[in-house]
Structure 1
Amino acid sequence: MGYYVTVDSGVKLYVEDINPGGNKTIVFLHGWPLSHEQFEYQFNVLPQMGYRCIGVDWRGFGKSDRPMSGYTFNRLADDIRSLVDALRLKDFTLLGHSTGGAIAIRYVSRHNGFGVSKLVLVDAAAPTGFTAETASEFLKKCLNDRPKMMQDVTDGFFFQYLTKPFSDWFLQMGLQAASWSTAAIITTLRDEKLYADLPNINIPTLIIHGIHDKVIPFSQAKEMNQKIRNSKLVPFQFSGHGPFWEERDKFNQLLTQFI
């Protein structure tokens, strides 16, 4: 079931709410520059096991509204708080991938973990995101040839082999986003750090990270594991930046065991 939730003046987020009557709720935050659709291989399985899966497109991405501003981690985290309030969510698992992981961390830190019982960080872009060099390269491509940028993102995303149809699907998902929001998040990933947020996380946290990740080094997962109390790091031996697809059976099983 898909619907829109107003989270800010003139800004509505698209929500894919699968199995609303499920016993346990998982809120999924996608990575840059994707959408909730990246979790297709979780949504195929978990609702049938009794879980309520809520996929959220952040502002500027997927099917959500695309304002010109509001792409700081604080604002994106506040959007999630507004969503949680509107849906009256409580005792849910918050799962964030890549930049979605950074937003999840800021949400828990900034809003004192409101409503969240467990946190799952998947190849999270934390405590740092892009280097100045990487951000500069992505910005140049984004503002001059965004389809080529998205192809480069796709090519470096996964460790396992991609079919051409899968690659095309993934690329088109990234192109659903607005160009300005895509560029704005690059700047946010360059300029914002999450070191101060990590000690504020006091809920059980599962850290999943592909050891072959070329986007966010596995060393950052180790650093988060050291700085987040009550956290557990599980390396994914055959994944790059996308264990939710590359090792989806293991991913889904681990997720259900943790929840």
Structure 2
Amino acid sequence: MTLLDDFLIRAALAGFGVAIAAAPLGCFVVWRRMAYFGDATAHASILGVALALAFDTSIFGGVLCCALIMATTVSTLSGRGYAMDTLLGVLAHSALAFGLVAVSFLRGVRIDLMAYLFGDILAVGRADLVVIWLGAALVLGLLIWRWSSLLTATLNQELAQAAGINPRREQLILTLALAVVVAVAIKVVGVLLIAAMLLIPAATARSLSRTPEQMAVVAALIGGVAVIGGLQLSFQFDTPTGPSIVCLSTVFFAISSFARLLQRSR
């Protein structure tokens, strides 16, 4: 019997893989105020699940394609006469609704919709682990490769253009990374909680860090600790694992926010 035969070990590895990819990417989501962007991309993944099942193809491939299409659509339409919050709200809820309706048309296909909405980390297999870690490696590789350009384009687009950096290209790179994270995270925390894994560790790390690089590392550590702790709490109290991970992340955020308020009051 190997370590990977233990479902808890597989779950911990899967959650940690998602956390170390989602948290640094979440820093850019926080800096760019793109919270709804993550939601819209995640909600589109349910439509990807339905299409993948309908055409008997890979769930990961279907989710990745729909997430990419959604993210590219948002990037293309932004700044063209649509208020960003309105555009994202319409696309996010429409994609989720169309996905749920499409799932209802599938006949002869057994699908645990709750697992896709809230995740089923305890059911992660070896093949899922390979996909998750390959996706995490791709996202981290993209972020490391383009870190300086992404950061410059995030802080000041005029400065980026003066330095020969194309802000739209950097936006597309973030879009690709976000779509990959959504595709690998759906098995772990589900559609409705993916945005939380992106945002909460990054928001928590913001008050604990002095530099952008430090914030990315601290966010990844917080996400990893939340995964391990959430798994432990779920196992001990028999609670849903994905939501337990997010709840623990929220507790960390509340503690860091309270500590920051105390420090300011002094």
TM-score using structure 1 length:
0.27
Select the structure that is richer in helix. Answer: 2
Quick check: which has more Rg, 1 or 2?
A: 2
Higher strand share: 1
Question: Greater RCO between the two (CA within 8 Å, min separation 6)?
Answer: 2
TM-score (norm 2): 0.27
